[in-house]
Structure 1
Amino acid sequence: MQCENPSVCDVDSKSRGWWLVADRLGATASFLCAVHCALLPFVIALLPLVGLEFLADHAFERGFVLFAAALATTTLVTGNRKHRQRLPMVLAVPGLILLVLGVTVVDLSAHTTLHSIMVTCGGLLVASAHVVNLRLVYRAHALQHAH
């Protein structure tokens, strides 16, 4: 596979590489967030014993959700420009809504179980959106460079 204009292909390759790393980071972070939220009610008493009590802090959780939302929005919008498929956004939007509602509205009430369910499902949806986005970007790139 030879590029007609190497300077353009190098720039495209570099920018594409950065976005793919960001998408992978988003998928991993969202999945870990979902695992964290699912397990937190069961291990909350053990966290101080192993020096990880910050994981149960609401400020940490809100900051993490803010980071995940910004990363997801950026990578999914960029991916959409390349592959023009709606599925990643269809997965991400309800996931982000569940995450934000889970760490704001529901977190302020005493509904720990509902909070855990909402943020776990939200994290899994956002992680799924990143994985689908990665596959679609790879497919679009392969089709673009197929001769």
Structure 2
Amino acid sequence: MSIKVNWDAFGIATSLACAIHCAILPLVLTSLPLFGVEIIENRWFEYLMIGIAFCVGSYALYHGRKKHHHSWLPLVLFSIGMVFLVTKMIFHALQLWLLVPAVILIVTAHFLNYKLCRVHNHAHADDCSHESVI
């Protein structure tokens, strides 16, 4: 049995999970440190989330560029968004100012990649399936 994965949808979900973690989790789960759980300000967890978003996003966007639309724009937008994410980790006081454009750029890159892959129409559709098999 093979499982088909839509990497753009997975990338968008990962980016949104990161945004939810960064924006909502601190507001809702402020009592976690009382129980010894330090997920809110845990830098390793933050870097792990950024790393996962980078790996999934890079693969999805590179696959779309190489196999479908050949446009660098989604990768450029994604890269700028990732720079904002890493920068927010360095300049913690600017976290919310950097997080919003980062998430907007990353989600826009995945959405644009998704749209470009769907618009791209060519004769060799057999070897150009958007979904990959795991």
TM range (shorter): 0.7 to 0.9
Look up the match of 2:22: 37
Whether contact under 8 Å (2:84, 2:102) holds in the other structure is yes
State the 1:51 CA deviation.
9.2
TM-score scaled to structure 1, two decimals?
A: 0.68
Q: Structure 1, unaligned stretches of length 5 or more?
A: 1-13
Gaps of 5+ in 2: 125-134
1:27 and 2:5 are equivalent in the alignment:
no
- Indicate the structure with greater helix content: 1
Structure 1 56/136 Cα, relative in aligned 2: closer, same or farther at 3 Å?
same
Give yes or no for the alignment of 1:71 onto 2:56.
yes
Per-residue CA deviation, residues 99-118 of structure 1 (Å, 9 max, x unaligned), is 11112x114xxx1xx11331
Aligned partner of 1:134: which letter?
Answer: Y
Superposition deviation, residue 50 in structure 1: 9.2
Deviations 1:88-135 (A, max 9, x none): 1232121010011112x114xxx1xx1133133212311221111112
* Residues 1:130 and 2:97 aligned together: no
Conserved 8 A contact 2:8-2:57: yes
What corresponds to 1:57 in structure 2?
A: 42
Q: 2:74 aligns with which of 75, 84, 88?
A: 88
The structure whose Rg is larger is 1
Distance in 1 between residues matched to 2:35 and 2:123, nearest whole Å: 50
Q: 1:50 to 1:131 in 2, by over 3 A?
A: farther
**Superposed CA RMSD:** 2.8
Whole-Å Cα distance in 1 between the matches of residues 44 and 30 of structure 2?
Answer: 18
The partner residue of 1:120 within 100, 104, 116 is 100
